[in-house]
């Protein structure tokens, strides 16, 4: 199997410089802690939807889910479509609540809804889980890069970690969202180039369906069993609904309507693109039937079919996917460390300028810790198994009170704390009992956690201050935002952001065209060159509209 060439590395370096440059440029627009962690509530809903999509699709998809697609086929798409459900539930239930909550971090509301102890327990334990969760993502990225380049795990993790930290530290949430949009373009274009090449290498769709018919069974293998799928969908619904970056996108837009539209567009992305992403790994079973490690299916098919230069762009796209997730996670987790822990526990009267610098330092701290921890993920049985284990043990007990707490008024603080403690203990016992399957153990853990939290509703509330506070909080959640509570949009800033989109898209177009020149004699080179031209045309059109003042924020009704 071939490795990357000099032209591939050049494509990756140019891409990295582009992402770092965007973050450094946006740093000058970040004036306070609200800008840094929630974009001043001015994130456009379309950009927010793209960012929400990108922060859920890392290289983990192209490693862990690709391995399932190679082994069992379409069941990988059946599983990944579980991400559609929380987006739809978010549009129907959570979007308006999180926007009306008036928070800067997802943990902030816990003190109002429950008490300071709950806020601190969930903040500290949540940060610990985020570190574990993102270690898995970095590990998956390292596997991909290691297979493509031969570069060691240590070097690939360090390189990616430095770039993500650099632009996230500088530009905050705006840097996360805008780089997500640019990375979305790179990822989609690169995967769309690979898709027809895969079909051609497989001898056409009819031959593919005839050669590997079992791969196109939506419920093949142990992961296609009804109980497994039901529990997996339930787990993802809980995990995503309480995911900090998922919540952050809801309270970072202008109003409730924008939040709902953002969630619905996210659901559409979650439904459409998994098939495009995973189809090459399914067909790889026919093209490369003797692959030793199924998790290397996607990178193997890329190395086999993509020529020099284009493969570099694909690796850049993998970086794009994972860096989108990590940058979003770094930002929201640093927000919890800054607002919920540093300011709340250590320095309540910290100035806005001080908190901004603490936020940047916390981002650097998280990046360093996750980078080191990623080196040890292999001991947990691979990316998919590690993610599944960490989610079952920690995410479910910590997320259930967070999610149910904003829709149910009666559960008490003791119920939230007991859910975390008992849930983790139950999860440890069930996961260490080999006679109990993962799906049965996870279902039991979910039911136990929900039962404990709901049962606390029947405990008497003796503290009148707590009763009044919760009553006022839920009254706020039911009250639509007034016009004066919505941000006044800065047209000059928005035009600057749109110009930045156009410039970034122009650079991406030039990159695709330049990398395709050595391969213009074959279909992959032509496809890449055409994709580059389309990016240039779109960038030119956007620039023209911006300068004509036709792309402006929507005025308030």
pLDDT at 101: 81
**15 C-beta neighbours (distance < 10 Å), count:** 25
What would the mean pLDDT of 219-240 be, rounded to a whole number? Answer: 86
Residue 8 vs residue 230, higher pLDDT: 230
Instruction: Please list, in sequence order, all residues whose beta carbon lies within 8 angstroms of the beta carbon of residue 419, skipping any fewer than 6 positions away.
Output: 397, 400, 401, 449, 452, 453
Is a pLDDT exceeding 80 seen at residue 425?
yes
CA 416 centroid distance within chain: 26
Cα separation, 408 vs 78, in Å, equals 31
% of the chain residues with pLDDT over 90: 7
Q: Domain spanning 6-385 has what CATH number?
A: 1.20.1730.10
Confidence of residue 27 (pLDDT cuts 50, 70, 90): low
Cα separation, 454 vs 60, in Å, equals 34
Tens of pLDDT, residues 375-406: 666 555 555 556 666 666 777 888 899 889 88
In the chain, where the domains are located: 6-385, 489-549
Buried b (16+ CB within 10 A) or exposed e, 217-251: eeebeebbeeebbebbbbbbbbbbbbbbbbbbbbb
- CA angle 22/134/66 to nearest 5° reads 95
Cβ–Cβ < 8 Å for 280, 194: yes
pLDDT at 551: 46
Give Rg (Cα) of the chain.
23
pLDDT at 452: 95
DSSP-assigned letter for residue 212? S
Is a pLDDT exceeding 50 seen at residue 205?
yes
Cβ–Cβ < 8 Å for 164, 330: yes
What would the mean pLDDT of 457-482 be, rounded to a whole number? Answer: 87
Cβ–Cβ < 8 Å for 143, 63: yes
Is a pLDDT exceeding 60 seen at residue 410?
yes
Is a pLDDT exceeding 70 seen at residue 179?
no
pLDDT at 56: 67
pLDDT at 37: 46
pLDDT at 489: 60
Cα separation, 508 vs 521, in Å, equals 22
Buried b (16+ CB within 10 A) or exposed e, 455-477: ebeeeeeeeeeeeebbeebbeeb
CA dihedral of residues 521, 525, 531, 533 (deg, nearest 10): -50
Is a pLDDT exceeding 90 seen at residue 451?
yes
pLDDT at 85: 92
The kind and range of the H/E element at 90 are none
pLDDT at 148: 63
Cβ–Cβ < 8 Å for 4, 312: yes
Confidence of residue 277 (pLDDT cuts 50, 70, 90): confident
Cα separation, 429 vs 412, in Å, equals 26
Collapsing DSSP to helix, strand or coil, 412 comes out as coil
CA dihedral of residues 351, 357, 360, 361 (deg, nearest 10): -110
Tens of pLDDT, residues 520-531: 877 777 888 888
Cβ–Cβ < 8 Å for 14, 312: no
Cβ–Cβ < 8 Å for 411, 453: yes
pLDDT at 411: 92
Is a pLDDT exceeding 70 seen at residue 536?
yes
DSSP-assigned letter for residue 486? S
pLDDT at 46: 73
Residue whose C-alpha is closest to residue 313's, from 477, 452, 194: 194
Residue 424 vs residue 490, higher pLDDT: 424
% of the chain residues with pLDDT over 70: 78
Residue whose C-alpha is closest to residue 316's, from 499, 202, 193: 193
Is a pLDDT exceeding 80 seen at residue 64?
no
- CA angle 63/158/301 to nearest 5° reads 25
Instruction: Please list, in sequence order, all residues whose beta carbon lies within 8 angstroms of the beta carbon of residue 213, skipping any fewer than 6 positions away.
Output: none
Whether the CA torsion 62, 63, 69, 74 is positive or negative: it is negative
Tens of pLDDT, residues 80-131: 899 899 989 988 888 888 888 877 677 778 888 888 888 888 888 777 777 7
Structure tokens at 263: 């969630």
Structure tokens at 4: 């990357």
What would the mean pLDDT of 295-319 be, rounded to a whole number? Answer: 77
Least confident of 157-166, 176-185, 379-388: 379-388
Collapsing DSSP to helix, strand or coil, 503 comes out as helix
Least confident of 30-34, 209-213, 262-266, 536-540: 30-34
What would the mean pLDDT of 304-326 be, rounded to a whole number? Answer: 71
CA 445 centroid distance within chain: 25
Q: How far apart are the first and last CA of the chain?
A: 59
What does pLDDT average to over the chain? Answer: 77
Collapsing DSSP to helix, strand or coil, 405 comes out as coil
């Amino acid at each position: 199997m071939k490795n990357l060439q000099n032209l591939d590395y050049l494509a990756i370096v140019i891409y990295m410089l582009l992402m770092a440059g965007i973050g450094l440029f946006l740093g000058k627009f970040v004036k306070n802690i609200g800008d840094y962690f929630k974009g001043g509530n001015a994130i456009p809903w379309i950009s927010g939807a793209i960012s929400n999509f990108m922060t859920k699709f890392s290289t983990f998809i192209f490693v862990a889910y690709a391995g399932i697609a190679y082994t069992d086929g379409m069941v990988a798409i059946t599983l990944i479509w579980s991400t559609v459900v929380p987006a739809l539930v978010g549009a129907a239930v959570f979007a308006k609540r999180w926007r009306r909550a008036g928070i800067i971090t997802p943990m902030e509301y816990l003190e109002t809804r429950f008490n300071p102890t709950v806020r601190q327990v969930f903040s500290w334990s949540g940060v610990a889980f985020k570190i574990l969760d993102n270690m898995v993502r970095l590990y998956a990225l390292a596997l991909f890069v290691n297979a493509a380049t031969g570069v060691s795990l240590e070097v690939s993790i360090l390189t990616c970690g430095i770039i993500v930290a650099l632009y996230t530290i500088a530009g905050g949430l705006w840097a996360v969202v805008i780089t997500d949009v640019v990375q979305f373009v790179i990822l989609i274009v690169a995967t769309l180039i690979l898709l027809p090449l895969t079909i051609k290498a497989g001898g056409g769709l009819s031959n593919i369906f005839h050669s590997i018919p079992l791969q196109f069974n939506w419920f093949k293998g142990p992961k296609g069993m009804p109980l497994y799928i039901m529990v997996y969908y339930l787990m993802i619904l809980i995990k995503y609904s309480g995911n900090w970056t998922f919540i952050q996108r809801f309270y970072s837009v202008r109003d409730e309507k924008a939040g709902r539209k953002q969630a619905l567009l996210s659901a559409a992305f979650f439904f459409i693109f998994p098939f495009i992403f995973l189809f090459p790994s399914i067909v790889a079973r026919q093209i490369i039937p003797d692959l030793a490690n199924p998790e290397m299916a996607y990178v193997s098919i890329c190395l086999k079919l993509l020529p020099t230069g284009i493969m570099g762009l694909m690796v850049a796209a993998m970086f794009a996917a994972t860096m989108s997730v990590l940058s979003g996670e770094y930002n929201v987790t640093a927000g919890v460390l800054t607002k919920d822990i540093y300011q709340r526990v250590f320095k309540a009267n910290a100035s806005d300028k001080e908190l901004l610098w603490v936020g940047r330092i916390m981002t650097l701290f998280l990046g360093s810790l996750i980078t080191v921890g990623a080196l040890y993920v292999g001991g947990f049985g691979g990316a998919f198994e590690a993610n599944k284990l960490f989610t079952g043990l920690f995410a479910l007990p910590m997320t259930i009170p967070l999610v149910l707490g904003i829709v149910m008024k009666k559960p008490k603080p003791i119920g939230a704390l007991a859910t975390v403690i008992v849930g983790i203990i139950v999860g440890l016992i069930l996961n260490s009992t080999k006679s109990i399957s993962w799906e049965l153990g996870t279902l039991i853990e979910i039911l136990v956690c929900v039962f404990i939290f709901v049962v606390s509703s029947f405990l008497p509330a003796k503290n009148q201050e707590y009763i009044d506070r919760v009553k006022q909080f839920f009254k706020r959640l039911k009250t639509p935002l007034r016009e004066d509570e919505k941000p006044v949009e800065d047209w000059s800033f928005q035009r600057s952001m749109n110009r930045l989109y156009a410039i970034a898209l122009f650079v991406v177009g030039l990159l695709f065209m330049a990398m395709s020149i050595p391969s213009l004699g074959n279909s992959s080179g032509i496809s890449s060159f055409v994709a580059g031209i389309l990016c240039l045309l779109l960038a030119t059109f956007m620039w023209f509209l911006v300068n004509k003042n036709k792309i402006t924020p929507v005025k308030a009704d």
